[in-house]
Structure 1
Amino acid sequence: MTARNLNSDQFALLEFKDRLADPQNVLANNWTASTSVCRWIGVSCGIIHERVIALNLTSMNLRGTIPPYLGNLSFLLSLDLSRNNFYGLLPKELGQAESLKHLSTCSI
């Protein structure tokens, strides 16, 4: 069951990546299905549940909107997308991430 849940986290993050402009190819070159999501740049997984608990993509020159898929990361505690070029509204689906305690999306 853990593998299926981690697979759903991986799917959510790959969908997120596919909707971004990543001019430095940081995510394009690292976030691949052939590597465990827990080894991806900016991703931290919990020890107990082996699920994504933090996503820190600060200052990666990413552009786009924040898609609803991040709301599927049910163990997500911290989301830091600051110092990028995101625009638009936060998706209401982020409210599904009930564990989310820290959210930073501001551009500086």
Structure 2
Amino acid sequence: MERPSPILQLIALFLLPYLLSHNLANTTIDLKTDESSLLAFKSHITNDSFDPTLRKNWTTKTSICNWIGVTCGSRHRRVIALNISYMFLEGTIPPHIGNLSFLVYLNITGNLFHGDLPNELAHLRRLRVLDFSNNSFAGELPRTWLGNMTDGLEELHLNDNSFNGIIIL
């Protein structure tokens, strides 16, 4: 078997570290985007006095992949699941949630979230399971994001809220 030419070896010697560091830098930037989205979500929680888990655990001192309720994918190291069900949290859902672009599973059932659902949920194109049941949401469901999600969404749980209007898929 023939050895690669010295020029190819030199290119590989200088190009490979660049490509590896560039990929690592992009992963770090993307993880920072997920982190700031979740911290914005945390800032919209107005009451977690029953169980202050998120207040204590969701900090920049640890990787978001180690935060309670957060699951990161092994391939891209991005947030793929958020399960904060039955933590008795009270607050609203900020538009920043739409920046979790790798999110596949979102479960906030059994809390006291209220207000309108942000239109930015439409950005969650990979979402397969969405469970907002047993909260205090009201108003109409934003048709803009619900219609965009029907292609990949497999489960949608909205029961035991105060939504009104008609859902047309």
Q: TM-score, normalised by structure 2?
A: 0.62
Name the aligned partner's letter for residue 62 of structure 2. T
17-26 or 72-81, which deviates more: 17-26
Which blocks of at least 5 consecutive residues in structure 1 are unaligned? none
1:64 Cα deviation after fit: 1.0
* 2:71 maps to 1:16: no
Provide the residue aligned with 1:76 in structure 2.
103
Q: Secondary structure at the match of 1:87?
A: strand
Percent identity of the aligned residues? 47
Q: CA deviation at 1:48?
A: 0.3
Q: Match of 1:11, as an amino acid?
A: S
**Which structure is higher in RCO with an 8 Å CA cutoff and minimum separation 6?**
1
Residue equivalent to 1:101? 128
The structure with the larger Rg is 2
Residue from 93, 115, 118 that aligns with 1:91: 118
Describe how 1:28-107 pairs up with structure 2 within 5 A: 28-107=55-134
Residue 25 of structure 1 and its aligned partner are, at CA, apart by: 1.1
More helix by share: 2
Number of residues of Structure 1 aligned to a counterpart in Structure 2: 108
**Once the 2 structures are TM-superposed, how far is the Cα of residue 53 of structure 1 from its aligned partner?**
0.1
Distance 2:93 2:43 in 1: 11
Provide the residue aligned with 2:29 in structure 1: 4
User: What RMSD over aligned residues (CA atoms) do the two structures have, in Å?
Assistant: 0.9
Give the equivalent residue in structure 1 for 2:151.
Answer: none
The runs of at least 4 aligned residues of structure 1 exceeding 4 Å deviation read none
For residues 117 and 44 of structure 2, the distance between their equivalents in structure 1, rounded to whole angstroms, comes to 14
| CA distance in 2 between partners of 1:96 and 1:71 (Å) | 5
